Structures are given as C-alpha cells and as structure tokens.
Amino acid sequence: MTAKIMEKVEQAYIRKDRPEFRVGDTVSVIMRIVEGEKERTQAFSGTVISRKGKGTNEMFTVRRIVNNEGVERIFPLNSPQVLNVKVVRSGRVRRAKLYYLRDRLGKAVRLRDKHKHLISESAESAAEVTTAEA
C-alpha cells in the first residue's frame, strides 16, 4: 500500500526528458552550479561506468582522467541541477558495471566504439553487393 503511494508521489519528480545513454557511453553532463548569488553551467565529460537505482533514486557514475588521476562523479538522473546529458560516443561493453576501468591507465581505458563495427559491416555488405553486380 505505502509503496504504491510513494510511487505516485515520485512520478511528479521524475524527468520527462530523460536522456538515453548506457553504461560504456562517453557523455558530457551539463550541470547547474550555484555559488552564492551567482549561477553558472559546467560540463563534466567522461565514461559512464555504472547506473543504479530506479525512480527518483536513479544515479549514474561518470569517470574521467585529469592530470593522470582518475576522477569519478555520481549524478542523480532526475535532479534539476543536471540540465542535459549529451552522448559524445557510444561504447560497446559486456558488463553492467565498469569498475575494472579504475585499475587501468592510458590507452587501456579506451572502450570499443559501438557504431564502428556497424559501419564496417554495412560497408562490407555494400562492397559484396557491388562485386556481385559486376
């Protein structure tokens, strides 16, 4: 009974413009930062290494490397402080949590591009069609 009531109350706070992204994607999170009287926007870009929770409690963790030091930040998905989440690049991963990236440095942190293999497959099939026609 109380779970149904809580779910109805939470519906008012869930964003309607929820961004579509997955674990492994490289994203740029645009945040609203309030410092005293002033307000500004700031971007934090990196790789999404986890998503957890559901409803108003849904969070995602973004990791990036700054000065050879790993920096992670956890963002609430439905927060009004998170203005926008732009997907810069889609990564191809086979895990729900990418915590193993914490132990890696340099080029080992890179993930395979999701769309790269799709483009090469379509180019190969187009090449097969043109050779079959000739």
**pLDDT tens by residue, 105-127:** 888 888 888 776 555 455 555 55
Cα–Cα distance for residue pair 53/49, rounded to 1 Å: 14
Q: How many domains does the chain have?
A: 1
Contact 47, 25 (CB under 8 A): yes
Start-to-end CA distance of the chain, whole Å, equals: 69
pLDDT tens for 72-98 read 999 999 999 999 999 999 988 999 999
Q: Which domain holds residue 123?
A: 2-133
The enclosing domain of 58 has a CATH number of 2.30.30.790
Cα–Cα distance for residue pair 78/73, rounded to 1 Å: 15
pTM for this structure?
Answer: 0.78
Cα–Cα distance for residue pair 130/113, rounded to 1 Å: 27
